[in-house]
Amino acid sequence: MWPNKFEYARAGSVDEALAMISDDGKFLAGGHSLLPVMKLRLDAPAHLVDINRIESLSGISANGDLTIGATTTHAEIAGSAAVQSMCAALASACGQVGDQAVRNFGTIGGNIAHADPASDPPTVLVACGATVNIQGAAGARSVGAEDFFVDLFETALDDGELITSVSLPNCSDCQCAYVKFPHPASRYAIVGVAVCLKMDGDTCTQADVAVGGATVKAVKCAGAEAALAGSALDDAALEAAAAAVKADIADWLAGDIAYPESYRQQMAGVFLKRAVRAAS
Ligand SMILES: Cc1cc2nc3c(=O)[nH]c(=O)nc-3n(C[C@H](O)[C@H](O)[C@H](O)COP(=O)(O)OP(=O)(O)OC[C@H]3O[C@@H](n4cnc5c(N)ncnc54)[C@H](O)[C@@H]3O)c2cc1C
Ligand 1 probe mutation, 76, 105, 107, most atoms within 8 A of CB: 107
Q: Quick check: CB of 115 below 6 Å from ligand 1?
A: no
Task: Check if 3 has its Cβ closer than 6 Å to any atom of ligand 1.
Answer: no
**Candidates 32, 50, 191: which one to mutate for ligand 1, based on the most atoms within 8 Å of Cβ?**
32
Whether 160 lines ligand 1, by a CB cut-off of 6 Å, is: no
Residues 75 and 14 in one domain: no
Contact 90, 121 (CB under 8 A): yes
152 CA distance to ligand 1 middle (Å) = 15
**Ligand 1 probe mutation, 27, 38, 163, most atoms within 8 A of CB:** 27
Residue 156 and residue 6 in contact, taking contact as beta carbons nearer than 8 Å: no
Q: How far is Cα 243 from Cα 225, in angstroms, rounded to an integer?
A: 12
Cα-to-centroid distance, 28 and ligand 1 (Å): 9
Q: Given this model, what pLDDT does residue 158 score? A: 96
Q: Which residues of the chain have pLDDT under 70?
A: none
Same domain for 153 and 180?
no
**CA dist 100 to 69, 94, 220, Å?**
20, 10, 29
Predicted TM-score (pTM) above 0.85: yes
Is residue 183 domain-shared with residue 125, that is, in the same domain? no
Q: Which of 168, 196, 215 is the last residue of a domain?
A: 168
SS3 200: strand
CA neighbor of 16 nearest in space, from 47, 54, 48: 54
Are the CB atoms for 163 and 133 separated by under 8 Å? yes
**CATH code (residue 112):** 3.30.465.10
Q: Which pLDDT tens digit goes with each residue over 27-65?
A: 999 999 999 999 999 999 999 999 999 999 999 999 889
Domain that holds residue 244: 175-279
| Protein residue closest via CA to atom 4 of ligand 1 | 98
In a domain, 99, yes or no: yes
User: Is 54 inside a domain boundary?
Assistant: no
CA-113 nearest atom, ligand 1 = 34
With respect to residue 2, please indicate whether it lies within any of the assigned structural domains: no
- Give Cα separations from 280 to 87, 170, 176, 226 (angstroms): 14, 18, 8, 17
Kindly report the protein residue whose alpha carbon is nearest to atom 16 of ligand 1: 106
Query: Which of 140, 168, 196 is the C-terminal boundary of a domain?
Result: 168
Q: Is 45 in the pocket of ligand 1 (CB under 6 A)?
A: no
Ligand 1 atom index nearest CA of 37? 29
Q: Hey, whose CA ends up nearest to atom 18 of ligand 1?
A: 106
Write down the pLDDT at residue 252: 98
In a domain, 90, yes or no: yes
**What is the pLDDT at residue 280?**
75
Same domain, 189 and 155: no
Whether residues 183 and 164 share a domain: the answer is no
Which of 147, 168, 189 represents a domain boundary (last residue)? 168
- pLDDT of the residue at 276: 98
pLDDT at 185: 92
What CATH number does residue 262 fall under? 3.30.390.50
Q: Are residues 163 and 179 in the same domain?
A: no
The answer to whether residue 253 sits within a structural domain is: yes
Q: DSSP secondary structure string, 139-184?
A: EEEEEEHHHHEEETTEESPPTT-EEEEEEE---TTSEEEEEEEE-T
For residue 32, the CA-to-ligand 1 centroid distance in Å is 5
Same domain, 185 and 270: yes
Q: How much is the pLDDT for 256?
A: 95
Q: How many domains does the chain have?
A: 3
Same domain, 80 and 164: yes
